[in-house]
Amino acid sequence: MNVLYEVSDLRVDMALPGDLLSALLPFRRPVINILNGITLTLNRGETLGIVGESGSGKTTLARTMLGLVPASGGQLRFDGETVGPAQIRRLRRETAMMFQDAVASLSPRMRVGDLITEPFVIHGPAPANRQARAGEMLARVGLPPAMADRYPHELSGGQARRVSVARALALDPALVIADEPTAGLDVSIQGEILNLLSDLKESRGVSFLIITHNLAVVRNTADRIAILYLGRLVETGPAAEVFARPAHPYTASLIASEPDPDPRRRRADLAIKGEIPGLLRRPKGCEFHSRCPRAMSLCRETRPALREIAPGRSVSCHLAVPDFPDLPTNRAN
Ligand code: SF4
């Protein structure tokens, strides 16, 4: 597999609105650090799941990779080229975003066919027969060509999501970033959408970056996953290995928090507890220590580095060593 996107030591800081004086003197505005030390790669034809609670920085990471948020430090390389102002146009043409609220992301005044082919109008060249192209794109995502004449409010949640997939694929992008691709859908439709993304990855070689707070979304879809906590990576590795044997207590807690239909396997005691701390007051030491069931005194003082514990598997926890002890979860894998 060759690398499509490389993120190295990425840092993103943002200035807060501040008070009236800060509005007049921008250098006085308080700055918060959203992402810190993010290093990851995405290969061609691979699906990488970025998992974290609200406030973990996963959406900022996606928007930075799309060139919508400026990096404060580190490096982004897309298809072998450093991402800078000169590459933004190419980056925008070769990447696409599927937004969380599919219906709201589609203009209510445009018909589905025009929505799907709009990217050609923006980036050119426009197809000779726009209607035929829309029909082709609809067929690719399992919708009938007649759907091209509908308006977004006439679509079900699953149909709107398929339309947003078709629109994202219009320019044959190398990378699609899907933000909570199953949010708000019935369980059966969720499975259909995830299967569709997997099929498109296989048939068209598209790379997917799936952003979600819900581990179940990436359990069978992602090749690798990266777990974010307060803007730092705490665990990365092949999805099957991470689910079978999580090495970071936060990952284990997220797995334990997944709904399990079998009441005998529910382990509420292991589920994640408490709120994610605010970015303005990052805890000292390991930033997960206030919620970690395995915290030790060392954790309150010293932040563990992200280190490789097996090929392709990195973890940031004092307990994570090559032969780390099994962490309990409520799932039988
Ligand atoms: Fe828990 Fe300590 Fe590991 Fe942090 S370093 S995850 S507090 S055991």
Ligand 1 pocket, residue 155 CB under 6 Å: no
pLDDT: which is higher, 155 or 25: 155
pLDDT of residue 333: 45
- Using the atom order of ligand 1, give the atom closest to the CA of residue 248: 6
Query: Per-residue confidence at 187, pLDDT binned at 50, 70, 90?
Result: confident
Spacing, Cα 324 to ligand 1 middle (Å): 13
Spacing, Cα 3 to ligand 1 middle (Å): 31
Alpha-carbon distance values, 97 to 8, 164, 270 (Å):
21, 9, 34
Q: Which 3 state secondary structure label does DSSP give 86?
A: helix
Element (H, E) at 8: strand 3-15
Task: State how far the Cα of 243 lies from the Cα of 51, in Å rounded to an integer.
Answer: 12
User: How confident is the model over 157-168, as pLDDT tens digits?
Assistant: 899 999 999 999
Ligand 1 pocket, residue 243 CB under 6 Å: no
Task: State how far the Cα of 216 lies from the Cα of 196, in Å rounded to an integer.
Answer: 16
Spacing, Cα 39 to ligand 1 middle (Å): 20
User: How confident is the model over 203-254, as pLDDT tens digits?
Assistant: 888 999 999 998 989 998 999 999 999 999 999 999 999 999 999 999 999 9
Q: Which of 273, 223, 266 has the alpha carbon at shortest distance from 250?
A: 273
Give me 156's structure tokens.
């079900």
User: How confident is the model over 285-314, as pLDDT tens digits?
Assistant: 999 999 998 999 999 999 999 999 999 999
Residue to probe by mutation, ligand 1, list 270, 290, 294, 297, most atoms within 8 Å of CB: 294
Residue 128 backbone dihedrals phi, psi, to 5 degrees = -60, -45
pLDDT of residue 23: 65
Q: Give, using CA atoms, the residue closest to atom 6 of ligand 1.
A: 317
Residue to probe by mutation, ligand 1, list 289, 303, 327, most atoms within 8 Å of CB: 289
Pairing of strands 3-15, 73-78: antiparallel
DSSP 278-313: PGGGPPSSSTTGGG-TT--HHHHH-PPPPEEEETTE
